[in-house]
Amino acid sequence: MSTLAAAAPVADLLRRQRTYWATGATRSLDFRLDQLRALRAAIVKYQAEIIDAAKHDLGRPEFEGYIEVAVIGELDYAIKHLRRWAKPRRAALALSQRPGSAWVQPEPLGVALIIGPWNYPFQLIISPLMGAIAAGNCAILKPSELAPATSAVLARLIAETFDPAYIALVEGGVDTAQALLAEKFDHILFTGGERVGKIVMQAAAQHLTPVTLELGGKSPCIVDVDVNVEIAARRIVWGKFLNAGQTCIAPDYLLVDERVKADLVTALKQRMADCYGENPANSPDFSRVVNERQFDRLVGLLSQGNIVVGGDHNRSDRYIAPTLIDGVSWDAPVMQEEIFGPILPILTYRSLDEAIASLSQRPKPLALYVFSRDRQVQTQVLDRTTAGSVCINDVILQVAVWDLPFGGVGSSGMGRYHGQYSFDTFSNLKSVFKKPFWLDMDWRYPPYESKIKLFQKMMGLS
């Protein structure tokens, strides 16, 4: 389909949603809660199809498929707290503004566009959608065409659950995305890579549409000498090779104190064998690379450094073994882009200052991990590095703390969502100031003669 051909139905759908939103139906909290509960029921109903689709698209084991369905935990959190989030939030007044009252009054933005990625193709459409619904918006969803089975399940689920004048899903490739981005929305939330994120932001700028960009980057994992090596290895192996490394907040590379490197590598190798066996290609618990283009890119990275374990691959099955690479320099190609696959480079440092200096020279990551028992080390990393999120002595799990905002910084993204942060992202936090008539002081009105000293005193300038 050409971009021109895709534009007509997209424009018509957007007009229908704007007409529906103008009725005010989405503003009712009871309506929003009903829609969130309907979405929950639909996820429960479709859970087997969601898991099957994840297996088809990404070779996911059933257990990892349930990570997609686990978005229901955030949905329950939103249902529980929505009425509190939607209440006016009182603001303090300076003495000079009294008598009066001030508050922040959340209100819906209008029609939102949510563009999802292929790596968690169900979860990363539904999670922002619940924020858009909770805030009282209409929404158009565009799932990734690179996860076609999940896209098809999402299309059926959304069509069965919602009136398309309220929530609609549009399937398609680049032409469809371009047609959507040519329209004016009230907010766009995009999850994907930096290159496409720039395209989304550029398109949004034509309409002055605010954007939330969830991108990615090279999330470092620092391993200090004062660490439980076996537990650190267990957690790192799980987080890195979950979904075959195709997780935006997966540890991208290890930055290890050279004194603990040998022990850590031994523990990592043992843990990889424990999880996936001597031949991970036969493991029922290891996912596959999404497509041949990504496979070819990743195989190209295997020629660098020294492969400690892994490195095997099979293009017909889109299989790349869980791989550790040693002897990698900071300027190696594998260190120039987000890996987004089951390849884990190992770099070392002699001092924490050296490690932090190395990180400060690179783009700010979506996540940063540090393994250490030493609170001083933890504090130094927190105080002297920047990342969208930090997790201490574990990986990935910070994303499921619904009271924490999720998002990037710098080239890893902008904006935050999850929990109340999703509600606020899809809301206009309208400032309101109210004054009574019963007292009207004369200090601010002309003529100003003899009032300057009074004004200076009120402002604390004298």
Q: Which domains does the chain have, with CATH numbers?
A: 3-215+412-430 (3.40.605.10), 220-405 (3.40.309.10)
Token pair of 230, please? Answer: 């076996």
Provide the 8-state DSSP code for 364: P
The pair phi, psi for residue 400, each rounded to 5°, is: -105, 15
Query: In angstroms, how far apart are the furthest CA atoms of the chain?
Result: 88
Peptide bond into 106 cis (omega under 30): no
Provide CB contacts within 8 A for 186, sequence distance 6+. Answer: 109, 110, 111, 112, 137, 209, 210
Alpha-carbon distance values, 234 to 63, 274, 275, 393 (Å):
17, 10, 9, 11
pLDDT at res. 6: 55
Cα gap 213→200, rounded to integer Å: 9
User: Considering the entire predicted model, what is its pTM?
Assistant: 0.95
Q: Are 201 and 32 in contact (CB under 8 A)?
A: no
The pLDDT score that the predictor gives to residue 457 is 82
pLDDT at 4: 43
Place of tokens 């933005």: 109
pLDDT tens, residue order, the chain (462 aa): 444 445 568 999 999 999 999 999 999 999 999 999 999 999 999 999 999 999 999 999 999 999 999 999 999 999 999 999 999 999 999 888 899 999 999 999 999 999 999 999 999 999 999 999 999 999 999 999 999 999 999 999 999 999 999 999 999 999 999 999 999 999 999 999 999 999 999 999 999 999 999 999 999 999 999 999 999 999 999 999 999 999 999 999 999 999 999 999 999 999 999 999 999 999 999 999 999 999 999 999 998 889 999 999 999 999 999 999 999 999 999 999 999 999 999 999 999 999 999 999 999 999 999 999 999 999 999 999 999 999 999 999 999 999 999 999 999 999 999 999 999 999 999 999 999 999 988 888 999 888 888 888 878 887
| pLDDT at res. 7 | 59
Q: Which residues are catalytic?
A: 214, 248
Q: Are 445 and 436 in contact (CB under 8 A)?
A: no
**Tokens coding 322:** 């869980």
Cβ count near 340 (within 10 Å): 23
pLDDT of the residue at 449: 85
Residues 6+ away with beta carbon under 8 Å from 283: 275, 276, 277
β-pairing verdict for 211-214 and 413-414: antiparallel
